[in-house]
Structure 1
């Protein structure tokens, strides 16, 4: 059932005029301050009095005074109106310069890879912006949960979101430690994974993810088995380096470990390519300056080869 507004439509009409007259005890001075005619002020006050149902002023040819109802209305309306004006100024200020709280929903695995290089330089460049990072494996509703933006894998970006690429497309690669391969033959085909311990990832939905492959141009999903199930990529990366089993992980995440000889890549010919990682936000007509500053900082960071201003 449709409910009425708590505050009636037009309930604030005439309040500023009333407060100005009450402060000056003069319709003429109030009109001069507000930049309107005395008759316009009188009309606004008359409409307010009619809506309230009580006379607010005692008027004579020489003076203007407040009735008891006017005194009570003034004592309550003045601080409330000043709060409204202050709230408007605060909101206007946030709409004109980068300031305030910037809330970002981010997968845990992305924080060390993408955000840490950005955050320090962004916070130095925009000291009036507070950045809150909500690291989670869940894909949350950004608008409903009060986030300004989120970071998502390309295939998880909703169609109604604006997406800014943070990385180029990358591959999902299978890796294992030298210690693991000391006791196991390296797989050469995806079917060989049946003979291997494979680290698995539980999605936010509760389902255990299959491993994805590109088999001669055809997408293939394979259910694997192994001793460990994790809910985030960093845990799987650490377990793979400890020799617990094979892991399928984003290529940028394993590149340093591969270069250092801590991990070995296998099945590269079957590695599928993902669209990359994106900063995404609701499609708004006007982006708040704090978010616009972050988006521009991300773009500058990309254009500079990873060196943000």
Structure 2
């Protein structure tokens, strides 16, 4: 059976006073160090002794010494209290300056397009911050899995998240290779896709994604068929370049292949707009300096690009 262990409320009260008295062997000098009155120091020690159930000091009019119980308590309490102070200083440092480990959950396709140039300049600007990039196709529970922030397409970001745009809105486009179209006619209408091989995308939920279009300002979705199912846009794009079939991908991902004539854009009048890619995180109130530094760096970079 699992047992729950907690620190009893007030268990640490009086420990700092005890350590100061033990160090100086004097209630008066301890009081001066702690900014307390000698009577308040004496009262704090009495309360601690009562809680522990043992006398910790031998008091005379001329000196203060430790009992055997006091010596044992000192041997354990002193290093533990010093570790607690060190932990507090470390946490305070992380809360006051940009430092520590910044963990980001990102989709694979965002790494070469967005993160590689951004992270390079960020690491140079903030050498005290370590950046960890976890590539995942799933929508990560940031708090539960220990991430500071995530990057996703805007339509997949939960409404209770704070979201910052990393890109302008862009289109979802259908592309195919010249080799693929050498053997098949290019689709002119959405219904023409029924006669084409299409590379499909399986969402993290397990469902196959429908292809989205905009027909006379009306959003529509259709199911397509084809020989390959992938779980990320990079794989879909590569398959389209190799002539496996048509793929519907974010336009920025396909831009380089389109410019190099490795892909051809079809059904252009029906391409729907998406909100773009966003950096998202749970709450401004819980923001650490390392995340604030990253957000400011993102905004500064976007301003310089414009």
TM-score for the superposition, normalised by structure 1: 0.96
1:20 is aligned to 20
1:5 Cα offset (Å): 5.7
Which one is further off, 29-38 or 55-64? 29-38
2:207 is aligned to 207
2:148 is aligned to 148
**Which 4+ runs in 1 deviate beyond 6 A?**
none
1:261 Cα offset (Å): 1.0
1:282 is aligned to 282
Structure 2 unpaired stretches of 5+: none
Structure 1 Cα separation of the partners of residues 248 and 159 of structure 2: 27
Report the 3-state secondary structure (helix = DSSP H, G, I; strand = E; otherwise coil) of the residue aligned with 1:235: helix
1:83-114, Cα deviation, whole Å (9 max, x unpaired): 00000000001111111100000011111111
Which one is further off, 92-101 or 5-14? 5-14
Structure 1 Cα separation of the partners of residues 20 and 160 of structure 2: 47
Structure 1 Cα separation of the partners of residues 274 and 137 of structure 2: 18
Report the 3-state secondary structure (helix = DSSP H, G, I; strand = E; otherwise coil) of the residue aligned with 1:304: helix
2:251 is aligned to 251
2:125 is aligned to 125
1:63 is aligned to 63
Structure 1 unpaired stretches of 5+: none
Structure 2 Cα separation of the partners of residues 224 and 159 of structure 1: 29
Structure 1 Cα separation of the partners of residues 5 and 270 of structure 2: 60
Structure 2 Cα separation of the partners of residues 160 and 55 of structure 1: 54
1:109-168, Cα deviation, whole Å (9 max, x unpaired): 111111011011111111110000000101110000000000011111112211111011
1:188-247, Cα deviation, whole Å (9 max, x unpaired): 100000111111111111111111111111111111111111111111111111111111
Structure 1 Cα separation of the partners of residues 63 and 18 of structure 2: 15
Structure 1 Cα separation of the partners of residues 186 and 159 of structure 2: 40
Structure 1 Cα separation of the partners of residues 46 and 258 of structure 2: 80
1:34-84, Cα deviation, whole Å (9 max, x unpaired): 111111111111111111111110100000011111111111100000000
1:233 is aligned to 233
1:4 Cα offset (Å): 7.2
